[in-house]
């Protein structure tokens, strides 16, 4: 099942948050999640690492659970497997997070249809199945091409028209 394409405003609001949790960020600096984590840091974001299997990621403290993050964050980028996304989204709701981005490049990524429904039912803004690199200014190469392909196939987010 293909997740709904969120309005571009939802993506812009998520990226306007300057303090983000990345849940499931890898300890391996060559892993895509670690590369994305570092890219956000280079762009001035305060990134908070969350991974139950690590105490440190890329030289900074890593939290076991999103509920333990102090001060709390308002937005979380999920780099998890879809099989744990329902549980992670529930944890995010308990932590008061109001914006969730479920990363997906290929396969299902972090997207879970039931977790998307949970977010919608609980008033949590959700971005299911997009890659943040496509929306970061100045991202080039494969990310720009990926965005171009989504635009020509009609799967790139659009601004909502005012009612």
pLDDT at 132 over 80: yes
Helix axes 82-94, 113-121, angle to 10 degrees: 20
Question: Is 87 among the domain residues?
Answer: yes
Question: Is 109 among the domain residues?
Answer: yes
Q: What is the 3-state secondary structure (H, E, C) of 76-102?
A: EEECCCHHHHHHHHHHHHHCCCCEEEE
Question: Is 160 among the domain residues?
Answer: no
Q: Which residue range(s) make up the domain with 51? A: 8-152
Domain CATH number, residue 33: 3.40.50.720
pLDDT-derived band at 143, boundaries 50, 70, 90? very low
pLDDT at 138 over 80: no
Domain count, the chain: 1
pLDDT of the residue at 145:
45
pLDDT-derived band at 64, boundaries 50, 70, 90? very high
Question: Is 163 among the domain residues?
Answer: no
Q: Which is more confident, 86 or 8?
A: 86
Question: Is 1 among the domain residues?
Answer: no
Question: Is 159 among the domain residues?
Answer: no
Q: What percent of the chain has pLDDT over 70?
A: 79
139 Cβ contact list (under 8 Å, min separation 6): 133
pTM of the model: 0.84
E strands, 19-139, where?
19-23, 46-50, 56-57, 60-63, 75-78, 99-103, 125-130
CA 47 – CA 34 distance, rounded (Å): 11
pLDDT at 163 over 50: no
Is residue 157 within 8 A of residue 7, CB to CB? The reply is yes
Question: Is 2 among the domain residues?
Answer: no
User: Could you report how far apart the first and last alpha carbons of the chain are, in Å?
Assistant: 29
Question: Is 161 among the domain residues?
Answer: no
């Amino acid at each position: 099942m293909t997740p709904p394409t969120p309005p571009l405003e939802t993506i812009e609001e998520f990226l306007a948050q300057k303090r983000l949790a990345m849940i499931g960020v890898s300890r391996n600096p060559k892993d895509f999640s670690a590369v994305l984590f570092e890219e956000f840091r280079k762009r001035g974001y305060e990134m908070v690492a969350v991974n139950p299997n690590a105490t440190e990621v890329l030289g900074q403290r890593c939290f076991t659970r999103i509920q333990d993050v102090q001060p709390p964050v308002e937005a979380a980028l999920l780099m998890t497997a879809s099989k744990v996304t329902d549980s992670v989204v529930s944890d995010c709701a308990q932590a008061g997070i109001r914006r969730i981005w479920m990363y997906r490049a290929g396969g299902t990524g972090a997207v879970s249809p039931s977790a998307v429904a949970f977010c919608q039912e609980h008033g949590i803004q959700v971005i299911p199945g997009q890659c943040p690199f496509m929306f970061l200014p100045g991202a080039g190469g494969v990310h720009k091409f990926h965005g171009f392909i989504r635009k020509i196939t009609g799967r790139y987010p659009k601004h909502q028209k005012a009612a």
